Chain A
Amino acid sequence: MNSGINLNRQWLVAVGAILVSVLLLAFGRGSIPREGQATNYTITIVPADARSLACASDVVMSNRRCGFNAHSQPVNNDRPLRPYVTVGREVVMLAGVFESGSVAAWVEAANKSGDESRVTLDCYARILGTMSEVLVRWAPDGPFQPEQNVMVSDIDDCVVKQ
């Protein structure tokens, strides 16, 4: 009798565990941040990236836009979008990385000491949207190359990880 009850209870527990597992797999992987929501990026930079990285597009998102227009002409902009590659190898467009306090201080110190070493940044940002097409440049004299379907975010703050 008891063993029958135990067996029934075990069936319930087994089926329950399987259901929970299915739910974990289906819904337990967190929500992917959408437009307007906060997210974080881990990127690596060198001081020269402040001059090297640039993008070209006429698209404006929440007053943020590239430092060049679609014809690769400079646009007056004190907080331009720039392209970065995350540690997960995703190309993203971020505004305000070099303008954030800790990064600006690090760049200034690095320029004074001549230190060109690379650092990792943990950046907290708000998603502005996705650019379906944009031209990006990775060096000051490099050509603009097309990238598609790139996420655009505005930085709230970055932390320099040595």
Chain B
Amino acid sequence: MRVAAALPSSSAGARCLGFDADINARIRLASSAILGLCSRSRRFPMTKPEEPTSADQAQSEAEALSELNVPSSAKGRLSPAIQQHTEAEALSSLVPSSRTPDRRTTNDIGPASVRSGGAPAAPKNGALGTASFLAGLRQWLPYLTPLGLLLTVLVGLGLYLRLFDFGYPKTLQFDEHHFVETARGYLKHQPDWNDHPPLGKLVIASSIRRLGDNAVGFRLPALISGILTILLGFIAARRLFASRWAAAMAGALLAADGFLIAYSRAALLDGFLATMSLAALVMVSFELSTVWGLVAGLVFGIAASIKFSGVAVALPLLFAMAVSKQDTRNKIVAATVMASVAGFVYVVSYSVGLSMTDKPSSIGDVIADTQRLLKHHAELTDMKNPATSGWITWMLPTRPLMLGFAEKHGAVRALSTLGNLATWWAAVVLGAASVATVLRLGWLNVLGDNSGEPGEPGEPGEPSPVTGFVVAHGKSVIAAMLTTVAFLAPWILTHRDSYIYHFLPAYAPLVVTLAGFLGWYETKRPARVFGFFVITLLVAAFYAPLWAYLPISHDALNLRLFIASWR
């Protein structure tokens, strides 16, 4: 059973040195400890780190010091426990710990300088360069496992499916005509007849201007956004769940999911919103500051300027403010900066859009046009389009959309928004169970400092895995669930026509939560998590043709789309 209480704030060195077992981390941490510079982590304390025992802590410090050949004069300034273990390390010539960095522990938080992967500083000569290269390699060796291999293959497959015949089809698919035609219109100073704010279409217009009016030109922003989504999912999981494995799992799950792949291959706006959704989640993992307010404002402003439903990112950002340990004054400053920057981004991007269509573009015009669009959206409630689907049906889903479908000589080429069913169903079930757990345990109980993680699965009286996960990562889970709920709220609370793609920005944080859970559960039941990724890979390979226009026969297509409403 692990102890997960927060570390004593007075023990800065212990806090730094207790977390990361990788070599570079230890080198940096040790040097910081020696110099007394182990500064307060800038990481927002979303996860209760495991408190190392004094022996573990001292051993970790000692390992780091032995790596450095710490001089005795420096050792003299260290705590007795560290000195004791340093001597022991020297005697036993202990090699760096074979303990997997965060395979078996989740305590790989460490300061910002090492969390990013701990790449050592550039060496000044060849020998140092080789040593540093080998050290870098050795850092990743523990990840060379069957699970690591599967995750790598999933990411590779996801990238391949995004890039395969990327310019296909040359003509517009699905709703692309809404956005590509209006983007073309911006370049020709023609009216924007689409019902969303201009930013997403301005981005497409900018790409068309640079790369030409062709399939790659108008779809490249979607591809870049799709790859950014993977990276942001990686970062969000890394920071929120304090685990490299969770980060790698998030990257793999986001990469090998047809819902996200399809939107990386189409000049549509919802992929951009998914990126912003995860950007907001990443922001939650940082502590409040003026810079935080600036970046959060950018995220908020960009999201709201793509689609009105993008204002949903405000909820996780407000949550970050609410749970921040900063004083009220700093919170007010951060909130003011965020709101100002978001408003500035919205007004400026909207104004640019208006001016490019030769319309008046003052702040008043932006407000008036915004009101016009909001009124228009409020009236779209008939749900008569056969492609519409209620939000509750997205959980299965009952009506994924075909973004593209073409036949040639008996073969079909299709692009479906049906996700990876292993990921989809697991993420939805976990999301529902997490929300239920938070409600059952009580919001404040989950947010507050708990004395420790509950017992290990399998122990008598053990909690369910979901309860264990929620208790261990309460704030992170709540942040992710709030992001999901915020993006679902417009479709739950109103009767506005809804489609499966409205689920995309809510789905991405669900997948990150699933990765966090799997990263946590992997330390308890590694075989089950490994099995899950085997299934995920097989499902991805099975559905891959439908996610990237790979030619497939009618029978094989129908076999995959075994529910009639999926076709």
Q: Which residues of A contact B (CB under 8 A)?
A: 6-7, 10-11, 13-15, 17-18, 20-22, 24-25, 28-34, 39-40, 86-90, 127, 130, 151
Contact = CB atoms under 8 A, between A and B. Distances in A.
A77 to B, nearest CB: 25
Contacts of A21: 153, 157, 537-538, 540-541
B146 A10 contact: yes
B2 to A, nearest CB: 19
Given A7-B146, A89-B406, A28 B556 contact: yes
Contacts of A29: 545, 550-553, 556
A51 B153 CA distance: 55
B411 interface: yes
B408 A90 contact: yes
Interface in B534-567: 534, 537-538, 540-542, 544-545, 550-557, 559
Contacts of B409: 32, 90, 130, 151
Nearest to A21: B541
A18 B405 contact: no
Contacts of B489: none
A60 to B, nearest CB: 20
Given A6-B527, A7-B146, A29-B551, A17 B405 contact: no
B392 interface: no
Size class of the B contact interface (CB-based, 8 Å): 35 or more
Contacts of B545: 25, 29
Nearest to B414: A88
A152 B555 CA distance: 20
Q: Per DSSP, are chain B's interface residues mostly helix, strand or loop, or mixed?
A: helix
A24 B541 contact: yes
6 contacts: A14-B147, A14-B150, A21-B538, A29-B556, A30-B556, A34-B410
B152 to A, nearest CB: 10
B233 to A, nearest CB: 22
A28 B552 CA distance: 9
Given A14-B534, A25-B550, 12 more contacts: A10-B146, A13-B530, A14-B147, A17-B538, A29-B552, A30-B553, A33-B410, A39-B554, A40-B554, A88-B408, A90-B408, A127-B410
B149 interface: yes
Interface string B486-529: 00000000000000000000000000000000000000000100
B245 to A, nearest CB: 15
A6 B526 CA distance: 11
B383 to A, nearest CB: 21
Nearest to B406: A88
B183 interface: no
B406 A14 contact: no
A25 B544 contact: yes
Given A10-B530, A30-B552, A88 B407 contact: yes
A21 to B, nearest CB: 3
Interface string B396-411: 0000000001111111
Query: Which of A11, A21, A31, A89 has the largest count of B CB atoms less than 10 A from its CB?
Result: A21
Contacts of A7: 145-146
A18 B149 contact: yes
B523 to A, nearest CB: 14
B266 to A, nearest CB: 17
A6 B555 CA distance: 38
Contacts of A30: 552-557, 559
A8 to B, nearest CB: 9
A107 to B, nearest CB: 25
A41 B145 CA distance: 47
A90 B347 CA distance: 45
A141 B447 CA distance: 75
Contacts of B544: 24-25
B552 A89 contact: no
B4 interface: no
B521 to A, nearest CB: 16
B538 A24 contact: yes
A10 B144 CA distance: 12
